[in-house]
Structure 1
Amino acid sequence: MGLIVLGLGMVITGAVLRRTLVVVTVRGGSMEPTYRDGERVLVRRGGRCAVGHVVVVRQEADGHSSPTPGQAVAAVGTAHEWMIKRVAAAAGDRPPPGALPGPYATGGPVPPGALVLLGDNTHNSYDSREAGYFPTTHVLGTVIRPRPGRRKKPT
């Protein structure tokens, strides 16, 4: 009986972890040198996004991620890609200079429900400098660490 309960507990724990943790493979060089193409990272679903956190975020198939200035919710689409970016500013924060394109660069704080996201590789990153705000509803989760034994060696 004790073995069955232990086994059932392990199954339930595994199911809960699969709902809260996900392994994501980095594609592209927008986060180099922090994360390299092909590297796998562990992501905690949901949670609060804070400046400095690295997040996995959905980009709509049309290439747009931004709501219009002053809005924080964008239309929900079904076709999307996932990107990995660093939070540069969250709701209420002032975005760093140059972090937003013209219509978004008002000098005011980030609106509720929005994030300013930047890639670590500034010369090779599609991020808020082009897209403007990213809705917090598009965030899959926060990177908590590289997956052990999966970090690729620099070439």
Structure 2
Amino acid sequence: MNLAVAGAVLLTLTVGGVVLVRHRYVVVTVVGVSMLPTLADGDRVLVRRSALARVRTGDLVVSRPPAGGRWDAVTLPTWLIKRAVAVPGDPVPAHVVLAVPERPGARVPPGRVVLLGDNPADSLDSRFCGYFRAHQIVGVVVRRLAHGD
């Protein structure tokens, strides 16, 4: 293989790798105080794009906000960062029962997840929105980034 062909192959592999990484991961900046004390306004996190099936109880999750009905009249951020407190098959937490159609003791149905902010006094989450649906899940937080990363 000559040097020009080897360079073209290396360039193609590098570009392909960058595209793959950018498709798989996204950096998200925290806006607001709903995740205090875990995450503060301005913190940045690395998020691995994932389907609901990869979300585990306790994970920090990035999701799209609720839409439709009353939510269309409210200005919401592009994405929300919340903690998954119940995934499909887990018991529905008592403090969200009023916002979901299930009774206490019921299980979270397939394709749904219960997301709560760590700062319940200032969080738009499942206590108000009910379940978040699988199509709303963007991914799971992998780690907080140091300032300047």
Superimposed CA distance per residue, residues 32-89 of structure 1 (whole angstroms, 9 cap, x where no aligned partner) = 1111111111111124111011111111355868xxxxxxxxxxxxx97310000000
Counterpart for residue 119 of structure 2: 121
Tell me which amino acid in the other structure corresponds to 1:14.
Answer: V
Q: Which runs of 5+ in 1 are unaligned?
A: 66-78
Superimposed CA distance per residue, residues 99-119 of structure 1 (whole angstroms, 9 cap, x where no aligned partner) = 332553512000110000000
Within 5 A, what are the aligned runs for 1:33-72? 33-47=37-51, 48-62=54-68
Structure with more of its chain in helix, by fraction = 2
Displacement after TM superposition at 1:95 (Å):
2.2
- Bigger Rg, which one: 2
CA RMSD in angstroms, aligned pairs only: 2.3
User: Aligned in 2, Cα 1:102/1:60: closer, same or farther, shift over 3 Å?
Assistant: closer
Contact 2:66/2:129 (CA < 8 Å) preserved in 1? no
Contact 2:66/2:132 (CA < 8 Å) preserved in 1? no
TM-score (norm 1): 0.79
Q: Which runs of 5+ in 2 are unaligned?
A: none
TM-score (norm 2): 0.82
Displacement after TM superposition at 1:123 (Å):
1.3
